[in-house]
Amino acid sequence: MIKSSLVSLWVILFLLGPTLGQQVRCDCQPALRHLCRCGVLIEQDVAEIQLAYLNRLMLAEFRDFLKESPVTTIRLAPAHKMVLKGESAQGYYDSDEQEMVINDSLQRDQALMVMAHELGHAWHFQVQPDPDAISDFLAEGFAEWVSYHLIKRTGLVEFCSKIKTNPDPLYGNGFRWYFQVEQKFGTEAVINIMRSWTDLEGGRVP
């Protein structure tokens, strides 16, 4: 969802597991905390490690199109400070502060997913700073498409299938629209659409 200078992710409720609020402990090796799936809530230090990790994946995956990462700063915020238009967001990219903000009630693996999605928005926003010019479908679809490629590199493959099969008309259909463009015409075609907001025949995408 896009509003004025904020590009935000509203809902990925399918990620929210039943362990919220329970006492859980992490059995992961310290070096693998960024991929932790033990149900532990996100903390600032792990969030920073995760964002740095995703940024490395981002530059590897899109090295032909991206010279530096669009956002390297992250901040956690409590759920009640994440309410945008009456809904609680899991994360958003704040273009004024040039930082990513994520909900501190997320578990570590959920936070990783949200960050991957918001990296897509941040990239998009730097190229196309007028959010009103971008349809929600194209914005959320692109963010999910970026997220899919980053998460694929992490090896959390079931998250990739969730992105692919998400029934949501914005997130799911938006992703699948970009994905079929990629399958037919390649990665560059997707990036060109994101950059130019024109379709493959040169018309403006609604």
CB of 40 to Zn ion, least distance (A): 6
26 is a site residue for Zn ion (CB under 5 A):
yes
Alpha-carbon dihedral angle through residues 83, 18, 150, 189, given to the nearest 10 degrees? -70
Binding window for Zn ion (CB under 5 A); candidates: 7-15, 71-79, 162-170, 182-190 = 7-15
46 binds Zn ion (CB under 5 A): no
- Is residue 36 close enough to count as binding Zn ion by CB under 5 A? yes
Out of 2, 6, 9, 116, point to the residue binding Zn ion (CB under 5 A). 9
Confirm if 64 and 4 have CB atoms less than 8 A apart.
Answer: no
Which listed residue (11, 28, 189, 205) binds Zn ion by CB under 5 A? 28
Q: Is 38 in the site for Zn ion (CB under 5 A)?
A: yes
- Helix, strand, coil percent values for the chain (each to nearest 5): 50, 15, 35
Token readout for 49 is: 């490690």
Count of residues of this chain found to bind Zn ion when the rule CB under 5 A is applied: 7
Listed in sequence order, the residues at least 6 apart from 138 whose beta carbon sits closer than 8 Å to its beta carbon are 174, 193, 194, 197, 205
51 binds Zn ion (CB under 5 A): no
Residue type, 120: G
Output the smallest distance, CB 145 to Zn ion, in A.
11
| Least Å from the CB of residue 203 to Zn ion | 25
Assess 194 for contact with Zn ion (CB under 5 A).
no
**Residue keyed to tokens 């130019």:** 196
Question: Are 34 and 92 in contact, with CB atoms under 8 Å apart?
Answer: no
Binding site for Zn ion (CB under 5 A): 9, 26, 28, 36, 38, 140, 143
